[in-house]
Amino acid sequence: MDAGPSRERRALRPSQRRLNEGLHVDLPPRLQHLARLPWLECYLQQLRTEGKSENTQKTYLTSIRPLLDTTLPGETATDDVDVLCVSDVAERVEPLNGRVDRWVHSLSDLKPSSFNTKLAAARHLLNWLGHRWPEHLVRARAGRRLPRTLTRRELSNVLEAARWHEDPLARVVVTMMLDTGLRVSEICDLDLDAVDVDDQSAMVRSGKGDKDRLVLFTERTLEELELWLEQRALRTEETSGPVLVNRRGARLTPRGVQRLMEDLSVASGLPRGRLTPHVLRHNFATGLLERGADLVSIQRLLGHASIATTRVYLEIGDQTLREVYHRAQAARSSMPTGVDEKALEDVTPSTSVVGVEQP
């Protein structure tokens, strides 16, 4: 009796395969000519080709090295993973040998955001090597965090502390961040030839994602910048190069800005960590939103690649909501009189989404 057509056994899923199958790893054609070259140099070149910033490159390498250092049972530790070749790294992180799983398990105590950052770095490496990321290794679910901002009173205290700080850098740094929304790396990288005083603007070159964008100045920004340039001439004779220089006449660094923020935080009576460069950037964005700016304009001014990143500012916190409510109610109560309709004082920086009003 005919038993019917024979059925071939289905190929096993990756999750069904045993770890000791001894599978040979073949590099994708685009990497075969790099097989015996040092992986680190080749991978860094790939990151640069993709336009990854220096900070992103450092973050990826900080995450990837512990993965490569992870040992499996019976293995001895590698002396220096940086000297491995591309082919060796591809075999080392082969998803079916268990190394990636063992490394991911070691990250269990991290915060969701840190965990996801490291997973993103490892996933990028595996994709580059032609591996498929294991489906069972998923991102941690992180609660949505609203942007931290300073209240009106806190912001006034910071501006006052910056005005009287011993380092004149404090005034110009705080003002520029509040009025332009510059990232800390962007304000440090800003050069004199990128500033157009007549146009009341500056061009950020090779910002995050290796993109250029225009930032706009207020009259207050220009005044503080003019005062700062007088101080800058006392620190360096260079008439080109960085806008912001430290006491030694060298380009200001992000760490130098962070130290300024720490000093201003103490001087203005804020808790530790309450004042950061990114908090000032958030204040810039929420200030624009409160005054009616549309999300697309805010996205362009902030240099966000996706408007989804900008949309988080719609989720304003309770304190900001209270301030908006009380300002609106105060304005409403003054409307029936028709007399002395004095505009409410707004100490939040006033930045136009289309430019700076001409006097």
Q: Which residues are catalytic?
A: 183, 208, 278, 281, 304, 313
* Identity of the residue numbered 37: L
The answer to whether 67 touches 103, Cβ cutoff 8 Å, is: yes
3-state secondary structure of 339: coil
| Residue 214: strand pairing partners | 203
3-state helix, strand, coil in the chain (%, to 5): 50, 5, 45
How wide is the angle at C-alpha 86 spanned by C-alphas 83 and 87, nearest 5°? 115
Phi, psi (rounded to 5 degrees) for 215: -120, 150
What is the CA 300 to chain-centroid distance, rounded? Answer: 15
Q: How far apart are CA 142 and CA 149, in angstroms?
A: 20
CB burial of 306-323 (b: ≥16 within 10 Å; e: otherwise) equals eeeebeebeebeeebeeb
182: closest CA among 148, 221, 146? 221
CA distance readout (Å), 253 to 158, 209, 227, 258, 350: 21, 19, 20, 9, 27
3-state secondary structure of 214: strand
Residue whose structure tokens are 């998803």: 95
Q: How far apart are CA 277 and CA 83, in angstroms?
A: 37
Q: How far apart are CA 194 and CA 316, in angstroms?
A: 33
What letter does residue 241 receive in the DSSP assignment? S
